[in-house]
Structure 1
Amino acid sequence: MISQALCISLWAISASAFWPGLSNEAHGAQIPVLSPSAESVSATAELPFVDLGYTKHRAISNPNPDLYKFQSIRYAAPPTGDLRFRAPQPPVDNPTGEVEDGRGRKECLQAMIKWADNFPPEPCDDCECCEEDDNYGGCHKPCDSGERGKAPPKQLFGGFEPAFNLTNPNLYSEDCLFLDVWAPKAAFDGEQRKPVLVWIYGGAYVFGGKSLYFPGGLMDRAMVNDRGGMIFVAMNYRMGALGFAAGRDIEDRDINAGLLDQQKALQWVQDHIDKFGGDPNQVTVVGLSAGGGSVLHHLTAYGGQKGALFQRAISLSGGWQPVTDQTTAESTFREFMTKYNGVSTLADLRDLRKVSEAQMMQANFQQIQSAPPASFLYNPTAWGDFAPESPAKLLNNGEFLHDVQLILSHVFNEGGQFAKSFKEQGTTVPGFLDLAFPNVTKDEKEWILETYHTGYNDAEDIARIIGDVTFRCHVTYTSDAKSDHVWRQRWNTVQSRAHGGDLLYLFYQPLVPVASVRAARILQDYVATFVISGNPTTTITNPSGFQQPAPYHQYSVDGKVQFFDSGILRFPNVWRGDAELEDLCRVWQQISCT
């Protein structure tokens, strides 16, 4: 059994990859503004509105003449008062009857942690383009001539540093269950219904928001070569204590409220996306890090016994390690109640549901900010109706949605960023194992040491352990469980080899600096064509002297993985899967949070 220190959130810290792209709607970010602010524009009579039954919602103006943005549509009732720590409920009717446009609505309560300040290192600022250090994501040498571009800006967890107050009540609220819909204008012209891509952001299940990402570049790739376009949806969901508290006095049906919020948004898509010109029978869900882990939780939700709310799924560096030790999960929530809120008992949540939003915001922030290294405290728990077991166990048992088509991806160095905090403290591999794996057997511990402990660099060894058990093996577990329609990727290019680096490629647009525009366009092609047809392909050609991209083979057919590696002549290439990793992951599946 993996301990809370590792099992609780060594993943999914990439939501910050677009902090400067946050819309002014919620965060007041200054540069670059990728998503237009509702406050900076006014809705006009020329913009369409959609009647959802419980409310009418109008699009807002935005600089892209080919897209409509419907901002901050309510998809569930405010989870406040008696609905705090409960599963989301249907939205109530708009009492005014006026057409809404989503202005002034906020993101969910969230927090960051102090130990995050320890990494990653500064990228270079004196070279056109730089390649990340193999260990911790920093720049150490010029990149290949075929991959030249701009040096990435200063980043946090594969992205940009947040520069705003996470406890500002003008930006964050418990009343946050909103979603955005981006639709091509052609979707309102009576043409064929468009496929839908639903984005779930990452952020270690403690921070992030729907407004972090501007999908314009990705949506553009869905319209080239007569592809027809797609609709993009992004939702907020509860995080931290509000979204992932677990305890015996929380009803089973209410545990993992953050995942239930996501499910509610997916159900909303089924019920309403046709009003925006979308096809509810062509829905793809995609997420990176905590978002990718969420995708895999939806794949295994209810042990695969309920109907699917999506037909395709993309999990990028999907991170999960549910706390199978329910005592640990309850202890974390008890600390939240007693130490930070002064509520003395778990027997009755009524007092906690009466605590003010301001106090809840501070309590959530303070507890998570004080988390020990490599821990975010809150994450999905294997408890309750939605997640009766960990995804690893459910996948191994065949208890998942078998008909969903999948793209699975990880980067080369998933664990380096997390291991740096242990390097700063001088933690040895044996010391790390005592912290992260206190309940493993003697034989299991000896296997880990023999497999990973080289004796040369403890931080690198710890990085390999974290990367395998928390991210890379999840790709293996899932692809091995599926018998068909699975595609796999591994990223090891300039700027993408550290955890979260591929997010910059997924949401590439001219305002976002990336080391390889070609790699970004190929990834966007794969995603767009997968959403539209279920068959990931690209029309991007390689520059002179490089071979054309290899066809994207199904892993489930021939065991081949699409490799995005710097310097190879055939980019991306297709190689056989990593046999060593496959063998390691089979052992980890028996040891880890299963």
Structure 2
Amino acid sequence: MISQALCISLWAISASAFWPGLSNEAHGAQIPVLSPSAESVSATAELPFVDLGYTKHRAISNPNPDLYKFQSIRYAAPPTGDLRFRAPQPPVDNPTGEVEDGRGRKECLQAMVKWADNFPPKPCDDCECCEEDDNYGGCHKPCDSGERGKAPPKQLFGGFEPVFNLTNPNLYSEDCLFLDVWTPKAAFDGNQRKPVLVWIYGGAYVFGGKSLYFPGGLMDRAMVNDRGGMIFVAMNYRMGALGFAAGRDIEDEDINAGLLDQQKALQWVQDHIDKFGGDPNQVTVVGLSAGGGSVLHHLTAYGGQKGALFQRAISLSGGWQPITDQTTAESTFREFMTKYNGVSTLADLRDLRKVSEAQMMQANFQQIQNAPPGSFLYNPTAWGAFAPESPAKLLNNGEFLHDVPLILSHVFNEGGQFAKSFKEQGTTVPGFLDLAFPKVTKEEKEWILETYHTGYNDAEDIARIIGDVTFRCHVTYASDAKSDQVWRQRWNTVQSRSHGGDLLYLFYQPLVPVASIRAARILQDYVATFVISGNPTTTVTNPSGFRQPAPYHQYSVDGKVQFFDSGILRFPNVWRGDAEVEDLCRVWQQMSCT
């Protein structure tokens, strides 16, 4: 049921995320591995290392000569054995004292649902592509070249097709709490501290990893026009049952372990990023989809009563379908323990903590794989110290970090991809509501039907409900709560009109197939300048042919939204948003299911 889990696009797993030059640790992509030459070993040995106190960590070679990459730095102790289903603990000292470089370390346990048969897009030699999508993540009008295809060309992988083997112990492990730091050499070697961008990946809270995205293009935009550059950090966090199980047996301070992992990584940035040339007082956190939803959970963490670990935040299509009913979370966890792990008692977790990693990997994969249509089973739960209520309620109550400036975005068609399985099964809107919102009141259900059920196309009506409740309305909740320093955008270009499509624009670099390079550069400008100064801006060509600054309109000042649309050739554009949808979202915010 959708109310039991987050319906978030699996763009985070799409083949397009494997940028050229990415290390071959990423999710088992079949990329040729060459034995290191004596020269490359020597070159690696000459790269700098950082003394973190508990370990020393050396940079590794990477394709960009202007960047240092510190790969897979441990930021927390392995969450195994007695630490399974617990909040992350500090890393222990490296017993060998040797300098580490992170090679061979793994991503967190993963899973994929059977019903999402349109993910990930398969790479191709001669891609067909779309001028328009069919509202369900597919194509109905081919265009004349493969440059704008849904599926990325194989050349993005050096001619190899990625293989997603999600139960391969050589690729995935519970011992996965690592992060990467990318820093400009000038920042690392100089004395001036640079601002920091921390990336939280998406993937429905069940899939993804820090190694999927190469930040070179985004970091380049932070250098143009004498901007000075920035540092990029990406962390792994526990997902699925290991990261988002909730139940009476799990202590309140351990619930939502995946979010607590992210928080631990943010604390690590505060403690150590200065050693890499970063400024811990200029940290921006950014995420898309489940990552964007995580950002808003950190904005409302502990009801806003604890100090912030970041100064700015960017939530792109921030998504979650909150589990506000604790019996639902308990039921999902009970099924995980008994049906998939054979543990017959909920008296305590001691037996479950003794289960082998191989069994945990299979149990997590099988339970999520068998999730019902529209469901990924695991989501942040409104339970425990970190998330006492859902962000919708905490934002409405004013219980959040008020001093954090925000960039918020959504795409035109957030829900279409997730309505596909309901379309194929012929699910009606009333039937969908029984599945997705079984505990809404009679009055609430009547309002949903009256508002969304047109009687013409149930699948499109369902897509609108999913899009609003799971993604679109979160933008309204956050922008309503903030009285100032809020910027908003909406995407509707080719590729970006469906959920997750703007990911390609955020991480654009040459060879990445986007419909508009200009739109990609403008988005990257907005992000980079926001990270550096807190004032997102770009430059455009004026009627006289000269470049001039084009500031990003503050939504909190004039109600204007930056609008990226393929039908309008000039970027950026502004509009005043959709007042009708805003009002619908405000009704949703008061309902029991949000």
TM-score (norm 2): 0.92
Paired residues of 1:118 and 1:421 also in contact (CA < 8 A): no
Q: Aligned partners of 2:523 and 2:299: how far apart in 1?
A: 22
Match of 1:244 in 2: 244
Q: Aligned partners of 2:407 and 2:509: how far apart in 1?
A: 22
Instruction: Report deviation, 1:587.
Output: 1.0
Residue by residue, what CA displacement relative to the aligned partner does 1:183-211 show, whole Å, maximum 9, x if unpaired? 00001232310000000000111010000
Residue by residue, what CA displacement relative to the aligned partner does 1:22-81 show, whole Å, maximum 9, x if unpaired? 631243314699999999977633211000000000000112110000000000000011
SS in 2 for 1:41: helix
SS in 2 for 1:431: helix
Q: Aligned partners of 2:123 and 2:378: how far apart in 1?
A: 30
More deviation, 110-119/283-292: 110-119
Rate the CA distance shift 1:7–1:200 in 2: closer, same or farther, 3 A. closer
Rate the CA distance shift 1:393–1:556 in 2: closer, same or farther, 3 A. same
Paired residues of 1:410 and 1:490 also in contact (CA < 8 A): yes
Instruction: Report deviation, 1:450.
Output: 1.9
Instruction: Report deviation, 1:131.
Output: 2.3
Rate the CA distance shift 1:422–1:443 in 2: closer, same or farther, 3 A. same
Q: Aligned partners of 1:488 and 1:208: how far apart in 2?
A: 26
Instruction: Report deviation, 1:322.
Output: 2.1
Residue by residue, what CA displacement relative to the aligned partner does 1:147-184 show, whole Å, maximum 9, x if unpaired? 98998559999999962210000000000000000000
Paired residues of 2:303 and 2:388 also in contact (CA < 8 A): yes
Paired residues of 2:396 and 2:481 also in contact (CA < 8 A): yes
For 1:56-67, what aligned pairs fall within 5 Å after superposition? 56-67=56-67
Instruction: Report deviation, 1:4.
Output: 2.2
Rate the CA distance shift 1:403–1:572 in 2: closer, same or farther, 3 A. same
Q: Aligned partners of 1:386 and 1:324: how far apart in 2?
A: 14
Q: Aligned partners of 2:151 and 2:388: how far apart in 1?
A: 45
Paired residues of 1:16 and 1:156 also in contact (CA < 8 A): yes
Q: Aligned partners of 1:145 and 1:561: how far apart in 2?
A: 32
Paired residues of 1:79 and 1:175 also in contact (CA < 8 A): yes
Residue by residue, what CA displacement relative to the aligned partner does 1:99-133 show, whole Å, maximum 9, x if unpaired? 00001100001111110115689999978963232
Paired residues of 1:550 and 1:570 also in contact (CA < 8 A): no
Instruction: Report deviation, 1:443.
Output: 2.5
Paired residues of 2:137 and 2:416 also in contact (CA < 8 A): yes
Paired residues of 1:284 and 1:313 also in contact (CA < 8 A): yes
Over the residues paired in the alignment, what is the CA RMSD in angstroms?
Answer: 3.7
Unpaired segments of 5 or more residues in structure 2?
none
Q: Aligned partners of 2:219 and 2:590: how far apart in 1?
A: 41
Residue by residue, what CA displacement relative to the aligned partner does 1:358-392 show, whole Å, maximum 9, x if unpaired? 00001100111010011111111000000000000
Rate the CA distance shift 1:161–1:152 in 2: closer, same or farther, 3 A. same
Residue by residue, what CA displacement relative to the aligned partner does 1:448-498 show, whole Å, maximum 9, x if unpaired? 122211222111111111001110000000000000100000000011000
Q: Aligned partners of 1:36 and 1:92: how far apart in 2?
A: 30
Paired residues of 2:105 and 2:176 also in contact (CA < 8 A): yes
Rate the CA distance shift 1:536–1:14 in 2: closer, same or farther, 3 A. farther
Rate the CA distance shift 1:442–1:12 in 2: closer, same or farther, 3 A. farther
Match of 2:299 in 1: 299
Rate the CA distance shift 1:101–1:348 in 2: closer, same or farther, 3 A. same
Paired residues of 1:283 and 1:312 also in contact (CA < 8 A): yes
Instruction: Report deviation, 1:539.
Output: 2.2
Paired residues of 1:548 and 1:571 also in contact (CA < 8 A): no
SS in 1 for 2:197: strand
Instruction: Report deviation, 1:263.
Output: 0.2
> Is 2:73 the counterpart of 1:73?
yes
TM-score (norm 1): 0.92
SS in 2 for 1:474: helix
Instruction: Report deviation, 1:591.
Output: 2.1
Match of 2:485 in 1: 485
Instruction: Report deviation, 1:440.
Output: 2.0
Q: Aligned partners of 1:436 and 1:158: how far apart in 2?
A: 42
Could you tell me the percent identity over the aligned residues? Answer: 96
Rate the CA distance shift 1:86–1:567 in 2: closer, same or farther, 3 A. same
Unpaired segments of 5 or more residues in structure 1?
none
Paired residues of 1:253 and 1:386 also in contact (CA < 8 A): yes
Q: Aligned partners of 1:576 and 1:498: how far apart in 2?
A: 21
Match of 2:168 in 1: 168
Paired residues of 1:23 and 1:33 also in contact (CA < 8 A): no
Q: Aligned partners of 1:6 and 1:513: how far apart in 2?
A: 28
More deviation, 142-151/219-228: 142-151
Paired residues of 1:158 and 1:498 also in contact (CA < 8 A): no
Instruction: Report deviation, 1:516.
Output: 1.2
Paired residues of 2:18 and 2:157 also in contact (CA < 8 A): no
Instruction: Report deviation, 1:533.
Output: 0.5
More deviation, 502-511/290-299: 502-511
Rate the CA distance shift 1:101–1:261 in 2: closer, same or farther, 3 A. same
Q: Aligned partners of 1:48 and 1:368: how far apart in 2?
A: 42
Instruction: Report deviation, 1:139.
Output: 3.3
Rate the CA distance shift 1:117–1:310 in 2: closer, same or farther, 3 A. same
Rate the CA distance shift 1:26–1:582 in 2: closer, same or farther, 3 A. closer
> Is 2:123 the counterpart of 1:112?
no
